[in-house]
Structure 1
Amino acid sequence: MTKLIIKDLSKAYGGHVVMPNINLTINNGEFVVFVGPSGCGKSTLLRMIAGLESITKGDISLNGKQLNNVHPSARKVAMVFQSYALYPHMTVEKNMAFPLKMAGVNKRIIDEKVADTAKNLQLAPYLDRLPGALSGGQRQRVAIGRAIVREPELFLFDEPLSNLDAKLRGEMRIYLKQLHQKLDATMIYVTHDQVEAMTLADRIVVLNQGQIEQIGTPEELYLQPKNRFVASFIGTPEMNFLEGNNQNQLFKIGLFNSLNTIACNGPITLGIRANQVTVDHDTFDAKMKVDVIEPLGHARLYYGKIGGQKFTIESQESFNIGEEIPVNLSQSIQHWFDADDLRIINTNEARNAA
């Protein structure tokens, strides 16, 4: 039963602390995704788990065994890199067999494992080819196959799809999901693409500036973000944010015909996702003039401003540039954030913010 425990982990370069204190437990069979903007520390954290980056303080243990001073090759961890890291002069078969050969595994066992893995990855027809004769998706499958034959206790993926085009990325996402289900393996996946995170993960770890902002299922992060950073990073397009000032310890939007109120002690921000805005021609709080239209096929994204603040609406209704869209914010799903420290004040999944 694979269990990874990260306790009080920190990383510093000289006197500069880039990761102050990470605590995280990953259970057997989980597909956990580290997500966050560039420079947030997600790849550094993954490399520390793999043993490719030193630990400043704290502990990493896998199945009860501390990994801090264990050589990467002895960690029972397999890593798939963004660049594939295949040997260009070796065939697919030799690339996949290489880690087992280096470990001194019997040739008959190596041949059996490579053949079986190649069949499962639909690579059997390409075993005699060099990596240069393969597509990007095929090369990535070879890199994954090289990891699988080692039968590791933990798989690590460092942005493995970022070099692929949009169509291949979509296909490989489905493939990785199916592979995880088939192997019932424990996997950690790093990406800056929150769409990949939402579609692949059992749980997502949102990182920002070397710290964990929130851990949860894709649905929890989307519907119940703990702060404005998570709310803005998770979901496409980005959540709408409307800034306001409190009056008599109540937030009054002031931009709309009907005022919504919520108890607060200072400036406050209202957040509403584009697909959760209620378009209402009869009872509306405000109108947004359409400046830009982005067709999605199943719906349209409309961009404009409300009360001078940028706003986006996703709707299946048809509007033209220059038209005004009537919106009922009191009937939209609302999130409230403290404007000073950006924490969530109240996530209301009902139809009323009061």
Structure 2
Amino acid sequence: MTKLAINNLTKAYGDNVVIPKVDLDIHDGEFVVFVGPSGCGKSTLLRMIAGLESISGGEIKLNGKCLNGIHPSEREVAMVFQSYALYPHMTVEKNMGFPLKMAGTDKSKIAEKVSETAGHLQLDALLKRLPGELSGGQRQRVAIGRAIVRDPELFLFDEPLSNLDAKLRGEMRVYLKQLHQQLNATMVYVTHDQVEAMTLADKIVVLNKGEIEQVGAPEELYNQPVNRFVAAFIGTPVMNFLPVDTLSRLVPKMQVFDGTESVGIRPNQVSVCPQDYDCEMLIKVVEPLGHARLYYGELGGETFVVESDLRFEQGDKLPLNLSQSVSHFFDHQEQRIESKAIANAA
């Protein structure tokens, strides 16, 4: 069942078109993540769904109901902001119950709903505290709780973890994943962090300059990016790219496909073979990861990164078998060339 339908949606500020056209269906119970670089339009798109930004053209429907022109408070959506947006003079309990109070809900019903939600979010012991007495992770859970008490048809998250440190971000990612499973809710989440996108999403929407580059499951985007932009944006460290003529010089025996302009190889999918290699890379920098190491160098004048659990040191020559590495071939328009050979390799 389609929960949210976005058709021919556009956004312009005067002559500046920030979203040329977006068509997207989000289904009931999905966790969908909008991801892309700064300025790609992901937050603008989210705010248009919420009703916080006007639309220049097109249509947004929730459960078949057109939202165009409907006030944000009447859209059956709840938004969690990057800044938490908690009232500093109100306790956790009052912050969470505030949307219900504004809706005229009975006090006993508010107390019941806040208590139930606080239990889900492990906030029971914090209900009488003020936001200034809470950690960043606790404040974020309060902001999420304020959204949950409304029983919205759709949850919207605008980079909610960006103010947290790395450890808290990891904990909150797991927490949000569990919360989604518990509530079986439909969630739309915006981030510029592709690690968040990969770990949280059922479906990722990759945006670039206000347009959708690709929509798919995390594994699909990682293994079958439609173009160089998606290939470079999804995955850490970033995919290596070599011009096809450079690769042909390095590995004359390697077969490429007609129309190939460049070849992409992910650092963790480079084959390191001391006994069977077809070229070597002088290691300039080593970054230990614990479980493996990142080796930085150059191939044919191009920066190249390799992730391997084999131990080498700066100044060593790293033996690479590129013909056995998982490779992605792109044409002169930077579109990925599909082939059985690539599918077999992946």
TM over 0.5: yes
Which residue among 241, 253, 257 is the counterpart of 1:259?
253
Question: What are the equivalent positions in structure 2 for 1:50-199 lying under 5 Å apart?
Answer: 50-199=50-199
Which stretch shows the higher mean deviation, 117-126 or 150-159? 117-126
| 2:31–2:189 contact (8 Å) kept in structure 1 | yes
| 1:2–1:154 contact (8 Å) kept in structure 2 | no
Inter-partner Cα distance in structure 2 for 1:204 and 1:111: 36
Which residue among 311, 318, 323 is the counterpart of 1:325?
318
Inter-partner Cα distance in structure 1 for 2:40 and 2:132: 33
Letter in 2 for 1:287: E
TM value normalised by structure 1: 0.95
- RMSD of equivalent CA atoms: 1.3
| 1:2–1:153 contact (8 Å) kept in structure 2 | no
Map of 1:296 onto structure 2: 289
| 1:272–1:332 contact (8 Å) kept in structure 2 | yes
| 1:276–1:332 contact (8 Å) kept in structure 2 | yes
Report the Cα offset of residue 324 of structure 1. Answer: 0.5
Inter-partner Cα distance in structure 1 for 2:42 and 2:165: 23
TM value normalised by structure 2: 0.97
Inter-partner Cα distance in structure 1 for 2:128 and 2:276: 68
Greater fraction helix = 2
Inter-partner Cα distance in structure 2 for 1:105 and 1:225: 48
Describe the shift of the 1:202–1:324 C-alpha distance in structure 2 as closer, same or farther (beyond 3 A).
same
Question: What are the equivalent positions in structure 2 for 1:184-223 lying under 5 Å apart?
Answer: 184-223=184-223
Unpaired runs of at least 5, structure 1: 246-251
| 1:255–1:286 contact (8 Å) kept in structure 2 | no
Aligned to 1:215, the other structure's residue is in SS state: strand
Map of 1:315 onto structure 2: 308
Map of 1:248 onto structure 2: none
Unpaired runs of at least 5, structure 2: none
Indicate the percent of aligned positions where both proteins have the same amino acid.
67
Report the Cα offset of residue 226 of structure 1. Answer: 0.2
Once the two structures are superposed, residues 38-88 of structure 1 have per-residue CA deviations (whole angstroms, 9 ceiling, x without a partner) of: 000000000000000000000000000000111000000000000000000
Runs of 4+ with deviation above 6 angstroms: none
> How many corresponding residue pairs?
344
Letter in 2 for 1:318: R
Once the two structures are superposed, residues 178-237 of structure 1 have per-residue CA deviations (whole angstroms, 9 ceiling, x without a partner) of: 000000000000000000000000000000000000000000000000000000000000
Inter-partner Cα distance in structure 2 for 1:42 and 1:256: 40
